[in-house]
Chain A
Amino acid sequence: MNSYPPELLAQLAPVMFVAGLEGPPKAPQESETGAAQAQLDPFQILSIRLREALVSQRKVAVWQPDKSKTFQVVLVDKEVRFPPRKLVPPDDPQYTNSHSPLSPLTPSSPLYPDGLIAPIWIRKHTTLIPSVFVMFMRIFEYPPHVLRSPLEGHDSDKDRLEEERKRDSELASDIAQRKKGTNERGVKLTVVLMASRRLLDDPALDSRLTYIRRQSGLDSRAALFVLSPVSTAELHDFVRSLQQALYEPALEYYTVHSKRVRRKRNRHSQATASYPNPAVQLANPNISRPLRPEGWTVRYEYKMACFAEFRGEDEVALKHYQDAYATLTIMFGSTAILPPRTKRWAEAKVLADCINIKIVKLYLYNNEHALALSHHNTHIRQFGDFSRGWGIGEETYEFWSWIARQYRVLAEMIDQGTRSGLVIPVHQPTASSTGAAPAPRPAGLPDLDFARTLGINPSHALQHSGFYYYMAAKCTDMRRARFQAALEAENNNNPIALSPGFQNEKKVDHLSLLYTKAYELFKKYAATPALANQTTSRLTLWIATRIAETHYEAGKFDVAVRFFERIAKTYRKEGWHALLKPLLSTWYSCAQRMGDVELSIKLLIEMMGQEDLAESEEPNGLEEDLLALFQSTVPSSTEAALTFDLAGARPIFETDAVFWKAEVNVEEPAAFQLPITAPTRTVISSVPFSSLEIHISHISNPVIVRHSAEAQEESTPSTSVSRVDLGIINLEDGLQLEIAANLRWKPGSVVLFTGALVSRKPVTLSIKKVIFNIEQNSWKVQVPVEPRPPVLGSTSEPRWLRSQDPPRFIAVKRPDHATTVVKPRPHLFNVSVIHHEPGFLDEDYPIVIEVVNHDDRDLEVMADVLLQPTDIDYAINTISVNGETSTGLIKDIPFGVLAPGVHASKTLHLASGGSGGDRLLDISISANTPQSEETSGESSDEDEDEPASPVQIDKTVYQETLTVPTIAPFAVDSAVMYARTRGEWQGLASLDTFAEDYFDERKGTEALVNIKLDCTGPWGVYIENITLDATVCYTSLPPAIIIDLEGKSAPEIRIMDSSVDLPDGNLFPAEYLAGDELNLSCRVNIGVRDDGKSEEYLFPSPGRYTVSWRRILRDGSHGSLSKTTVSLPALNPPGDTLVALFDIPPTATLHVPVSMTVTIRNYHPTRSANVTVQMEPEVTDGFIVAGLRSGRVPVLLPGGEERLEWTLIPLECGYQSIPRIRILDRRKAIPGVPATTEEVPVDGSTGEPVKLIDLRRDERRLIQADGQGEEGEATIRLLESGSNFGGVLVVPS
């Protein structure tokens, strides 16, 4: 940026002249600042502070986008004079025709005759002419003095007033003088009167100020301020408000200028339209080449742009700059207008560059990155095109110098911008779509936003300044190349079109220039926050490469080498060998130039490994270089070998260790192959490898393979694979193994070392590394190579050589082919687990574990058994062995030490409770040799790097998971039937009912519980005994069990009898096979507690059967005794209210009377019943009925019953149906009777029919209805079979 005049670049701001702040004792103040400060009076301090505040608020800079209405303050003398508007004084008659001293029309102007605009014009407006003139002045203050006497007071007052008036007039005339000067230029004059705080309070001040203003002719607005010495903060406030007040006049000032220039431009364009150019030229023959109309346009547009910029109107400025730029381009387009390589041409070029910068900057202020870059690119392209026309095209260094400068200026500007608020956008499609646009775009650019959604023009995407610095550096690089070509041409006495700048160019230190720029760039990148957080920034590496190359060019080899070291690390690590290759060769040249032989050797060796890209014309160039180095130099020390230690470098040889088996036993040879493959392109056949050290893990001495010339001759050239057998290597031998072999590789040839490793201990075997020793003269170089190092790009698969001639390989598809694990010999034993599934619940299920020692050693066998928890509800399972019982794990069940061939067994008992399902057992049986303590002690001493204890290693574990399906021995099905009691009820007032132990059986229900046991299992069951136990407390059995739940509210239940207790029908013991069924039934009497809540009771299970059984084993014997309990179901007797029980013998003899009874019972606990009975015999009935035909039963109190009896004489044989009886409960009908049916005679024909139950069939079951309930629950339905009337079978007598 420094290469352009700063005036043309700087951001313009309104200019304010400030006078009167110089402070009278100027010279001493500057010389002895610190000491003098203390003695300054408050006004001097005020002046100093004001100067600081005014001057420091704004610095002249290129990038200054903020519009905070600040002025560019220039401190001037009070008597400053403005430059003359025109050369002639205003009273001269020539005045109207003459021009400004800077005009191209003025012969003395530097622009005469055809200059466009000069930096001096801007300087005039920034330093010589203000838009606002501010004068600081002291108002006179009569020194305060003590009044000596009251008489004196009046006189002194008078004096004071006179004095003040006199001084104020002087002040006013000074101001008026100044005002005259500023008015000429249209500059606003503002006066700040400095007064003490005392004067501010003086009531006379106002009138004095008015007087001064009137006298001096100051404006009424914002022209007169009074300031007293105040603190710095208040001072800043003052400065701000002063500028606020004066900003408007300043804008006016520049607007006036703009208008004036526009007028001139308009007049001019009209004039040029009427006068053709040649005519003008002819008319003014004295002026050699006057400024062309285009030039005038540029000039005016530029001026207008500047004035707009002064006003802070960026948009307007931009427009004018663009117009100026466009016209300028037209001018450059014609060599007639601007002949190249003239002074004016150069000036115009600078102007064009500067305008470009201004335009780019104004766009960037507005965050219109794309437009800014577009303009910048256009500028470069356009002027690049022009340059070609001017003979300074791409082949010249001038061209590249210019482009470099453009990029550098852009970079510097973006740099400045980013420091003060310019945000570099992120060009990520997703980021922009989510509305994370870095800066809000001004409205009115919808098309631009729309375009962004589709995609971006990459050349218009703003990037951080590093990229532009890079471009600049790159162009400088081109410039240097062109320059050197020119220099070469000159040296060859064949100069190509010597340009005038050539001598100048020679003086430029290209290398240092490029270096500094590039370095700047490098730092720039590292400092960019987005990349700084990454440890290795690859971009910087690229730049660093460039820097290193520059260093190399500049001959600073040591610096370059340092760069190379760092760069190579990343490239090696990430496998970018294509990048590494040129780097290495440059590095190597550096090392050569520096004379660093050791580094050269290392680099040569690394370059030999870069086989992919060694497409060099001489494949043995590296080898020759290396040999030449060995020949011509001596190492720094003869003792120590030079070790090739460039970490991560790709080795020369591709080595790969392959073990045939993943695991071997102790003392079993582990065969391995170690192929060493030479690079295919680089020739290394004469590199003097003297020996090869193969380092194997757990062996201290490496296997050494020495080169022998005889072997070299013997080796068959027919195949590319030669095999060297190392034999069987015993790890514990500790012998130094040395073998001779041919160690010269042809391109792509493979030397394959084969052998086998034997270990007596369990270890992991691998080949650690192979060291190649090169010896020549006094040089010793060690090149360590790890088999298959973790460098990527080695693409060959692991292979096992199967036949040497012709070479055939087997692919080894093992991930860990480079290692093999040596394991101790396994212990041979056999485990069998014997059990007969499925097991039954509640059974003691035996599982026999049998271990047989098949080994030739004694084995100590232990077993662990884990019973896995089940997810079956209420399942309590246990295992037991040797009297130890656990619900989970039983550890270390000893089988003892078994001699070879001996077997031992243990029986494990599994008891399963709950419900059926699978039970899981993990059985693990471990065997080890009992004398292992001694050997383990030895081995642990030897290798301490093996953390795993040898006891654990030397142990063979057999594991088995056992699934025992468990089922219930019987499937249980229960059925309950309820029947009404038949006996006569006790009278309501019977005293017996109040007895303590009275069990009201008749009012209750009788339940018949039937339980079916179904032998489902595959095994037969031998049932020894079944007993029925009452669940809760009972007094005696039989006849009655009183079940008392929680004392007071218990219903009464008793088990009356049971089929298992039949004295004569004892079925047990008996064998039941699969599919057999067994029924157990019992009768339970459920009493009713007389509390009206009987329907709410759910009667608990009244008892349970205990079945004692044994499993019938396969051989017919019986297993151990198991007990299974079967609970009776819970009882839920249905309730009743009013019921009529009908009873008649099922058979009758013809003509023999039978009696038929109907018992009407009121079960309702509280309500009495009013019942009518009607016998309705029909003709078709086969009976004659004697008894009540129609009548009313006495009112039945709650708990009362009434018995009616009829006598029937059968008239016909056969199955006769019973005469119809209607029983109505009138009480229930009454509330429901509507008023209209009042007249219906109360004859028993109305009312609710009472349920009539045939006692012979009385049997009620609760049946699970199909899931039709409203809530989807299974509802329980009562099945009443007694309501179906049976008939009577009449037999003949």
Chain B
Amino acid sequence: MPSTLKLNAVAFISPQNHPILIRTFSKQDENTIKYHYIAHTSLDIIEERANMTGKLGDCYLGLLYSMEDVAVYGYITPLKVKIVLALALSDAVVKDVEVIMLFKAMHMAYYSAISNPFLRLESSMDSSIDQSPHILVGSPKWKNFRKRVDEIARTLGTS
């Protein structure tokens, strides 16, 4: 199925609203900061929607907003890791199925990256909430996560 989606950026945000990884795929480098802003502001709507639906809600939160040239979609994993996708805004219907598929792929990438047992070795056993691996997985030291995310973006681009 040829996908019409064009992924501009993806952001992973920890349950405590700290950025885990923000990866941009658009050419212009000066826009990186813009996607940071987008990821950060998306949290507002994600929280609002997640509260609205409560525990029964779906992971997929749908279109959060569209602004300038991007449409921002949100996803919240059962463990409250938030994933934000910034898709290039085009005048076409974005099928929820495709976005969900993309989100699932991203979730899977995160999940397999976080499963790395060596990650835990490195992290400080600091807190009972055990959030350090979340943050660590996005740090430049651990390349696997980035690789996976980039691969998804590349696959999306070629298909």
Give A residues with C-beta under 8 Å from B: 374, 377, 426-431, 451, 454-459, 461, 463, 467, 470-471, 474, 530-531, 534, 537-539, 541-542, 545, 571, 574-576, 578-579, 582, 788, 792-793, 795-798, 811, 813-815, 817
Contacts and interface: CB of A to CB of B under 8 A. Distances in A.
A531 B48 contact: yes
Given A578-B33, A793-B18, A428 B49 contact: yes
A428 B62 contact: yes
Contact of A815 (B61, B87, B126): B126
Interface in B102-153: 121-128, 131-132, 135-136, 139, 141
A456 B19 CA distance: 28
Nearest to B74: A428
Contact of A792 (B57, B60, B98, B131): B131
Interface in B19-36: 19, 22, 32-33, 36
B125 A813 contact: yes
A582 to B, nearest CB: 6
A576 B43 CA distance: 12
A811 B94 contact: no
A792 B122 contact: no
Contacts of A537: 44
A474 B62 CA distance: 25
B44 A538 contact: yes
A428 B121 contact: no
Contact of A534 (B47, B93, B96, B98): B47
Given A451-B93, A575-B19, A582-B33, A538 B43 contact: yes
Contact of A454 (B17, B62, B96): B96
25 contacts: A428-B62, A430-B53, A454-B96, A455-B96, A455-B99, A456-B63, A456-B94, A457-B92, A461-B63, A467-B65, A471-B67, A474-B68, A537-B44, A538-B43, A538-B44, A539-B41, A542-B37, A574-B16, A575-B18, A576-B40, A793-B18, A797-B122, A813-B125, A815-B125, A815-B128
B66 interface: yes
B156 interface: no
A792 B18 contact: yes
B89 A459 contact: yes
B91 A574 contact: no
Given A430-B57, A541-B41, A788-B124, 10 more contacts: A427-B64, A428-B62, A429-B61, A455-B96, A455-B97, A458-B71, A574-B17, A792-B135, A795-B135, A815-B125
B100 to A, nearest CB: 9
Given A458-B87, A531-B48, A574 B67 contact: no
Interface residues of B, number: 57
A377 B66 CA distance: 13
Contacts of A815: 125-128
B70 to A, nearest CB: 8
Contacts of A539: 41, 44
Given A454-B95, A792-B18, A534 B44 contact: yes
Given A461-B63, A467-B65, A797-B124, A455 B98 contact: yes
A465 B86 CA distance: 21
B48 A530 contact: yes
A537 B125 CA distance: 32
A428 B53 contact: yes
Nearest to B18: A575
A578 B19 contact: yes
B90 interface: yes
A578 B131 CA distance: 19
Closest 8 CB pairs of A and B: A458-B71, A455-B95, A575-B18, A427-B63, A455-B96, A458-B66, A429-B62, A457-B93
B40 A457 contact: no
B37 A463 contact: no
B10 to A, nearest CB: 15
Nearest to A580: B36
B135 A454 contact: no
B124 A458 contact: no
Nearest to B64: A427
A461 B41 contact: no
Contacts of A461: 63, 66
Contact of B94 (A426, A458, A792, A813): A458
Contacts of B132: 795
B103 to A, nearest CB: 12
Contacts of B93: 451, 454-457
Interface string B76-89: 00000000000101
A793 B93 CA distance: 38
B40 A579 contact: yes
B66 A463 contact: yes
Nearest to A818: B126
A538 B48 contact: no
A427 B60 CA distance: 11
Contacts of B60: 429-430
A795 B140 CA distance: 11
B96 A542 contact: no
Given A467-B65, A793-B18, A457 B125 contact: no
Contact of B36 (A531, A576, A813, A817): A576
A442 B81 CA distance: 39
- Residue from B44, B49, B96, B139 having most chain A Cβ neighbours under 10 A: B44
A575 B16 CA distance: 9
- Residue from B97, B125, B127, B139 having most chain A Cβ neighbours under 10 A: B125
Contacts of A796: 124
A538 B122 CA distance: 32
A431 B91 CA distance: 23
Contacts of B17: 574-575
- Residue from B16, B64, B65 having most chain A Cβ neighbours under 10 A: B65
A546 to B, nearest CB: 10
A820 to B, nearest CB: 16
Contacts of B121: 811
Nearest to B19: A576
